[in-house]
Structure 1
Amino acid sequence: MREQRPIIALDFPSFEEVKAFLHLFSKQEKLYVKVGMELYYAVGPEIITYIKSLGHSIFLDLKLHDIPNTVESAMRVLSKLGVDMTNVHAAGGVEMMRSAKQGLGQEALLIAVTQLTSTSEEQMRDYQNIQSSLQDSVVHYAKKAREAGLDGVVCSAQEVALIKEATGKDFLCLTPGIRPSGADVGDQKRVMTPFDAYQIGSDYIVVGRPITQSDDPVAAYQQIKEEWNAE
């Protein structure tokens, strides 16, 4: 039986809250966690060092998007932190993504954001002036990320099958917007349960509030982990 870990989004504003949350788990439970902009900008590289010292894996979710040289230089810095995965915006272009991969090296996975799971098709057409369908836009970005040599993309679970068909089964799909059955969807527009995400072919799932804001985070995590690993 396969054994995969859901990625827990550590969407906390302070170091102290992260420590309190992680200390709820047994030392033998090695987690995969996401450190996003709020936490990284509040604490800095120290948060990465601390989490790695506990033996956990890290997805550093900073969504870099700038000129190729700047992104490559930033990735060279991030490569020294020992994170397991990080990302860029696919909208930055193939040259930028290639530069990011060159700066990061081969030790960590590099994935690209296609369209945020909080973005609806109406918003994409209005704000971004992209007049194709949301799915077409996501698949287009995924193909460009593959062309740039990236390992995969961030996408909604609803687009996984299309992306795999367009890029190959080995191209990774990380899907946020995962909610257990009956949970509040919050600000996410395109959501799916852990079991459905597995069935449709997601390689990684990210879960935040259903775990971090639960009355019993450890039990909530174990439930989602079981759903994610169900056959």
Structure 2
Amino acid sequence: MLDPRDRLIVGLDLPARAAAEELVANLGDAVGIYKIGMQLTFSGGFGLVRDLTDAGKSVFLDMKLLDIPNTVAGAVEAIAATGADFTTIHAYPQAMRAAVSARGDSGLKLLGVTVLTSLDDGDLSEAGYQGDLRDLVLRRAEQAAEIGMDGLICSPKEVAAIRAAVGDALELITPGIRPAGSDAGDQKRAATPSTAIRDGADRVVVARPITRAENPRAVAEAIVEEIGTAA
């Protein structure tokens, strides 16, 4: 069983490295895993990966890779060299195969992004997809397991169905997490931390409810406590 503290991933969705470092210092030992996404990476945060790992933190470099196989493979090799623990690939079979083949023995965990939590059936239809969002998520989950991915990024709304479909073959990580009373923002398929954990999530990702809080550490500690009671 994972320690509740290691089941919370804090998204450093901040505009600059200095702000991220300030938040990490504020959170202290309340948090063990941090997610660095596109905004921070392109604002001087790439070097923060090594600093966090040197400090004993785990790093989730959220790049959501999708390109031709050669490009995806090269990116995975470069990410593995940073010391990051996790990275993301959009769960298209071709991209996932390239990522798995390029990882080598680095220990980098590859997470397939099923369908972004800001999307719903209407958004998929507008983008040209046919069929139900849930069916697409489950198909991508099955493909990820077959290809040898380590886990999935999936909405808490689909986590129970994915767990039933793939069992323990994949680690399930859910963004779109909002503590009770929080603003959902642009998340269309959100849930509370305890709901996600009870439905089968291994870890949850929380960003804005913590990064925008007056007391980020208190919010993080409350989420960890909620996770512990739900596990």
TM-score scaled to structure 1, two decimals?
Answer: 0.93
Which residue does 1:111 correspond to in 2?
Answer: 111
Structure 2 portions without partners, runs of 5+: none
Aligned positions of 1:47-58 closer than 5 A: 47-58=48-59
Distance 2:189 2:198 in 1: 16
Which residue does 1:201 correspond to in 2?
Answer: 200
Q: 1:18 aligns with which of 8, 17, 20?
A: 20
User: 1:141 Cα shift?
Assistant: 1.0
What is the DSSP-based 3-state SS (H/G/I as helix, E as strand, rest coil) of the residue aligned with 1:25? helix
* Residues matched between the structures, number: 227
Q: Which 4+ residue blocks in structure 1 deviate beyond 2 angstroms?
A: none
What is the DSSP-based 3-state SS (H/G/I as helix, E as strand, rest coil) of the residue aligned with 1:164? helix
Aligned positions of 1:42-191 closer than 5 A: 42-43=43-44, 45-91=46-92, 94-106=93-105, 107-127=107-127, 129-191=128-190
| Native 8 Å contact 1:2 1:229 kept in 2 | no
| Native 8 Å contact 2:36 2:45 kept in 1 | no
User: 1:171 Cα shift?
Assistant: 1.4
For 1:122, give the aligned amino acid: G
Identity %: 38
| Residue deviations 1:190-210 (CA, integer Å, cap 9, x gap) | 011011111100011000011
Distance 1:224 1:175 in 2: 14
CA distance 1:15–1:44, change in 2 (3 Å):
closer
What is the DSSP-based 3-state SS (H/G/I as helix, E as strand, rest coil) of the residue aligned with 1:174? strand
Distance 2:181 2:108 in 1: 35
| Native 8 Å contact 1:95 1:148 kept in 2 | no
CA distance 1:2–1:148, change in 2 (3 Å):
closer
TM-score scaled to structure 2, two decimals?
Answer: 0.93
RMSD: 1.5
What is the DSSP-based 3-state SS (H/G/I as helix, E as strand, rest coil) of the residue aligned with 2:134? helix
For 2:102, give the aligned amino acid: G
What is the DSSP-based 3-state SS (H/G/I as helix, E as strand, rest coil) of the residue aligned with 2:79? helix
For 2:17, give the aligned amino acid: F
Distance 2:68 2:214 in 1: 43
With 39-48 and 215-224 compared, the bigger mean Cα shift is at 39-48
| Native 8 Å contact 2:210 2:220 kept in 1 | yes
Distance 1:120 1:25 in 2: 33
Distance 1:30 1:222 in 2: 8
Distance 2:37 2:163 in 1: 26
